[in-house]
Structure 1
Amino acid sequence: MLGAAVRIAGGDEVVLTGRLSRSTHPWLDDHGVFGTVLLPGTAFIEMTLRAADEVGCGAIEELTLERPLVPAEDAQVSVQVSVGAPDDAGRRTVTVHSHVQDADADPAGGADWVRHAVGVLADAGSLAPEAGLEGQWPPAGAERVD
């Protein structure tokens, strides 16, 4: 879904870009909810992981989906994944935006960009495992149910 990555001049930010549509990505039609086709959450994860790889981060520490991406049947959608400069701990902010390409839109930009997700990328080694995910399974005191 993301075809290009560009490092921003004079900084350590990166923007990854791509295009998607239901005609070029027919699997999107399999992701409908009450008759509305949505970009699945796993696609946001995939794009964010691609951005993490590009900047040398190995993990998504946090990703909040704010708005669904609803590709119209005949629309081309531009996608941008923006990664900020690293902080003192090496973490980077990440955002996912989309913009519907409209043949009738003005050449200066047409419709507004929509932010769909925001999060934080980190080095995989810096993330501690969640409490309770290690050790005995099933946990002590658990009862089997049908």
Structure 2
Amino acid sequence: SDGLVFTSRLSLKSHPWLADHAIGGVVILPGTGLVELAVRAGDEAGCGVLEELVIEAPLVVPQQGGVRVQVAVGAPNESGSRTVEVYSQREEASDDAETWTRHATGTLSA
């Protein structure tokens, strides 16, 4: 397909500023971080405008270790828009599809 997948890793060790966004002692990636991930992936796909982003679940950053992040950009539709989805998985989890959590879905355009 003409879709793309971008990968990254977040942890408090590599991104200590994330510790400033804790709720009840749990570190959560701010919503603006999800927006930035989607826009950056859109830039790479030639669709740098984020038309919509629906946050479905918080992205928790563990106190120890890290979290794998994937941003999936779908193939362009007839108008050139693309879907975008942000997923994460705890670093120590097995790599099967059932351990990935979808955090946000949206639409990108040129």
Q: Following TM superposition, by how much is the alpha carbon of 1:34 offset from its aligned partner in structure 2, in angstroms? A: 2.8
Q: Following TM superposition, by how much is the alpha carbon of 1:93 offset from its aligned partner in structure 2, in angstroms? A: 0.5
Give SS of 2:61's match: coil
Asked if the contact 1:31/1:40 (under 8 Å) is kept, the reply is yes
Give SS of 1:20's match: strand
1:40 aligns with 2:40: no
Runs of 5+ unmatched residues, structure 1: 1-10, 124-146
Partner of 1:26: 16
1:71 aligns with 2:58: no
Output one character per residue of 1:56-113: Cα deviation in whole Å (capped at 9) or x when no partner.
Answer: 01200100000001111002100000000000000100000001011xx55x549700
So what's the TM-score if we normalise by structure 1? 0.71
Output one character per residue of 1:107-135: Cα deviation in whole Å (capped at 9) or x when no partner.
Answer: x5497000000000012xxxxxxxxxxxx
RMSD of equivalent CA atoms: 1.5
Give SS of 1:46's match: helix
Deviates more, 1:108-117 or 1:52-61: 108-117
Residues paired across the two proteins, number: 110
Partner of 1:88: 78
So what's the TM-score if we normalise by structure 2? 0.93
Please identify which structure carries the higher helix content.
2
Partner of 1:135: none
Following the alignment from structure 2 to structure 1, what is the Cα–Cα distance between the partners of residues 4 and 67?
Answer: 20
Please identify which structure carries the higher strand content.
2
Runs of 5+ unmatched residues, structure 2: none
Percent identity over the alignment is 49
Structure 1 or 2, whichever has the larger Rg, is 1
Q: CA 1:16 to 1:110, structure 2 compared with 1: closer, same or farther past 3 Å? A: closer
Asked if the contact 1:99/1:111 (under 8 Å) is kept, the reply is no
